[in-house]
A and B are shown apart, each in its own frame.
Chain A
Amino acid sequence: MEERPYHSVRLAKQLCKGCTNCLKHCPTEAIRVRGGRAHILDSLCIDCGECIRVCDYHAKVAVTDPLSMIKDYKYSIALPAPSLYGQFRGLQKPEYVVEALRCIGFSDVFEVARGADVVTRAIREKLKQPGLPKPLISSACPAVVRLIQVRFPELIENIVDIRQPMEVAATIARAEFCKANGCRPEEVGCFFITPCPAKMTVIRRPIGQKKSEVDGAISIMEIYGLLLPYVEKMMKDPNFHPSTKYGVAWSTSDGEANAVCPGNSLSVDGIDNVIRVLEEVENNKLMDLTYFEGNACMGGCVGGPLTFENNYVAKNTIRQMVKQMPEVHPDQDVPTSVLNKYPTKNDEEIEAKDAIRLDDNMQEAMRKMVRMNEIIERLPGYDCGSCGSPTCRSFAEDIVRGYCHEMDCIHIMKEKLKVMAQEMVELAQTKRE
């Protein structure tokens, strides 16, 4: 049975004014304004969070788990995204943030950067295989993976079948914690500290995995203020084994590509840019490329909609911090035994989520497209959004799909009113016979 769709990105109805800001900025045209408020189309939304950024009324929200959820488990492990480090200006070592997370109530901390180190190795092993599709596409940004499912289903086979750093981190963290403390896995909750709603969505509705290893996602925005005073105290656990600088750099655009395949990779940030480049991949224009890293957010994960710090400042913080870290690559730092011990590969196929086709029957789809083109001819082409669809073209599509009517276009209605008014005048002028 098909699971009910889940999205972290939601609408706060009472705050929505029904303006066209989110409508015009949604990269997958997944928003419509109907009945005076925005609606998000489940089948097209990729949880990138662009609408959260542009809504002046804060009516677009990301649903994440509250910090209090860690009390539902006997033990709780924080899995900080490396982008969390970028939130603290002038931070010298990741350890200070790790210790601060313990101070606010987590039993233990496992860096997702460490998960990224393991994933780096796993992908590098994968790249040794012959006959891989070119380019291999990173699976790290769930918004990009979902974009491919929805809009570029032909490229699903290019997505690397290695799990995300967050998942690998949760698997190792739970296993190691249980071994060290003699407890049962179900007593331990693993919580990702997230920069974005897309990660939250992928925890609830995993892609390529039957079940997520992560139990919840807490937004960076929610705990930033709690962490700050502890981070400033610069405390650290002397026994802590930190991740490599490469793992930390996964938080910024190009960090992953530089760790995985520095020789022949391309990294693109910003969802519209990613779409543009994926179009080229689909046209076989980038067949000489080995690895492609796409980040929905500008600057990479540090630009996530749930972060506190400006993404450029955060990127600089990470860069300065990484400079001080030892030059050790995951190839040397992650033992092969770790790769053999813990699952890093997907256990499910990534499926296409075809939401673009006009009809399941191709002949019917063609009839609809002919009609759509006729409607487009009549529309003014202003792409004003007043009808509630993002462009005149999508409005025509919505009409043939049966969601709205041509008279919902205020410009067509105005024309119609003009004709009617003229007719009224003519009627009034007729003499009584």
Chain B
Amino acid sequence: MEPLFKTVYQVAQADYTSAGRASADIKRKLKQLGVGGDVLRRVAVASYEVELNLVIHSLGGELELNVFPDAVQLVSADVGPGIPDLTMAMKEGYSTANDEARSLGFGAGMGLPNMKRNADEFNIESTVGVGTTITMRFHLT
């Protein structure tokens, strides 16, 4: 099914100065659409985490916001490097963030677990050398 509303944000690798802009815009747009309460908070948290993941861990990628009559969907697709061990990556407290990211207060290893906890549906696919795609859905009811 085609979303009623769709917008795509480009997120660059290690661009800490712009980090958070896409998720801030997503939050603003959802408020304008009348999405509120618990769903808004959960999308805000998950979109921020997924955007920061693109900045910290990926070689760059896209974050897509799709709004359906019954759900909000976030799709993050990057161009690499891919996650070798998904089970480890999903563990709380496990992080491969580099020193630069850690010096800015990131790298607590809560990103992916936080996304999974906040989304109603969570799916992650990753191929080393190709990239990672994360799809999250939040039900609007």
Contact = CB atoms under 8 A, between A and B. Distances in A.
Q: A and B: real partners?
A: yes
17 contacts: A153-B36, A282-B27, A282-B41, A283-B27, A283-B45, A284-B41, A354-B34, A354-B36, A356-B31, A357-B33, A358-B32, A359-B34, A363-B4, A365-B32, A367-B4, A369-B5, A369-B32
Give the size category of A's interface with B: 20 to 34
Interface in A351-375: 354, 356-360, 362-363, 365-367, 369-370, 373
The listed residue with most B CB atoms (<10 A of its CB), out of A153, A354, A360, A369, is A369
B67 A279 contact: no
Nearest to A279: B24
Interface in B60-114: 67, 69
A13 to B, nearest CB: 31
B41 A154 contact: yes
Contact of A356 (B5, B23, B32, B37): B32
Contacts of B69: 362-363
A370 B32 CA distance: 12
B51 to A, nearest CB: 11
A362 B24 contact: no
B45 A154 contact: no
Contacts of B29: 369
Contacts of B31: 356-357
Contact of A365 (B7, B27, B34): B34
Majority SS at the chain A contact face? helix
B5 A360 contact: no
Contact of A358 (B23, B33, B44, B45): B33
Contacts of B33: 357-358, 362, 365-366, 369
Interface in B3-54: 4-5, 7, 23-24, 27, 29, 31-37, 40-41, 44-45, 48
Interface of B: 4-5, 7, 23-24, 27, 29, 31-37, 40-41, 44-45, 48, 67, 69
B48 A283 contact: yes
Contacts of A354: 34, 36
Contacts of A362: 33-35, 69
10 closest A-B pairs (Cβ-Cβ)? A357-B34, A366-B4, A366-B5, A365-B33, A356-B31, A283-B44, A358-B32, A284-B45, A362-B34, A283-B48
Contacts of A285: 48
Given A153-B36, A357-B31, A359-B34, A373 B45 contact: no
Contacts of B37: 154
A363 B70 CA distance: 11
Contact of B7 (A282, A363, A367, A373): A373
Contacts of B5: 366, 369-370
A346 B90 CA distance: 44
